[in-house]
Copies of this chain bind each other. A is one copy, B any other.
Amino acid sequence: MTITITAFERSPDGGRGLARDTRVRWALEEVGQPYEVRLVSFKAMKEPAYLALQPFGQIPTFEEDGLVLFETGAIILHIAQRHRGLLPDAPEPRARAMAWMFAALNTIEPPIVEREAAQITERGKPWHAERLPMLDERIRTRLRQLSAWLGDRPWLDGAFSAGDLMMVSVLLRLKSSGLLDDVPNLAAYLARGEDRPAYRRAYAAQRAVNVP
């Protein structure tokens, strides 16, 4: 039962833990499953052998005893369903935790990814200065709603779950943006996530690859 995941040979974030393998490493650390990592280059990710595992040429993939999975959300859901520690046992809280996984990936993360894409691909364009505040406002709207929900809860819905793992991972992308300054309860929530021993181990493991 060896688990192997793929990760960037050299992560574009230089080891800040934002590449999506960190999320899978964190999940595996939370449930106490050892894993191996196969590093892939940007060139290899676009070649047929890799595309047979991951049709979109992305990391991470997950392999275990002949099962091949892709999409970080699906990989983490699979880990959480197979091992205790990331989902409540009772059906209703379990379904709610999954809803928060989807909310992180589908409602909170897309405008954040768009802002990053604009920073990279449109920084030199004449419209960038006018467009960036529009992108920021989309993110702020979601952060205000999330902050209102969280209130003074420690985690999104009861005990720490895969939903929190994903939400914290998404919010990490905003750490240097200043956008969390207006939502102190989310900044504190993010800090609680980063402080988990399993996260620290995952972060250190990805960093060891990228900052040798």
Contacts of A177 in B (CB 8 A): none
What would 30 A/B residue contacts be, using CB atoms closer than 8 Å? A51-B145, A51-B149, A55-B103, A55-B149, A58-B107, A66-B92, A67-B92, A68-B96, A71-B99, A71-B102, A71-B103, A71-B106, A71-B107, A72-B106, A73-B105, A73-B106, A74-B101, A74-B102, A74-B103, A75-B99, A77-B98, A77-B102, A78-B95, A105-B105, A105-B106, A106-B106, A110-B113, A114-B114, A125-B130, A126-B127
Q: Is the beta-carbon distance between B110 and A55 smaller than 8 angstroms?
A: no
Contacts of A102 in B (CB 8 A): 71-74, 77, 105
Q: Is the beta-carbon distance between A74 and B95 smaller than 8 angstroms?
A: yes
Contacts of A95 in B (CB 8 A): 67, 69, 74, 78
Q: Is the beta-carbon distance between B127 and A98 smaller than 8 angstroms?
A: no
Q: Is the beta-carbon distance between B148 and A70 smaller than 8 angstroms?
A: no
Contacts of A56 in B (CB 8 A): 103, 107, 142, 145-146
Q: What interface size band does chain A fall in?
A: 35 or more
A188 within 8 A of B: no
Q: Give the number of times this chain occurs in the complex, counting copies.
A: 2
Known: A57-B145, A78-B98, A134-B121. A103 touches B67 (CB 8 A): no
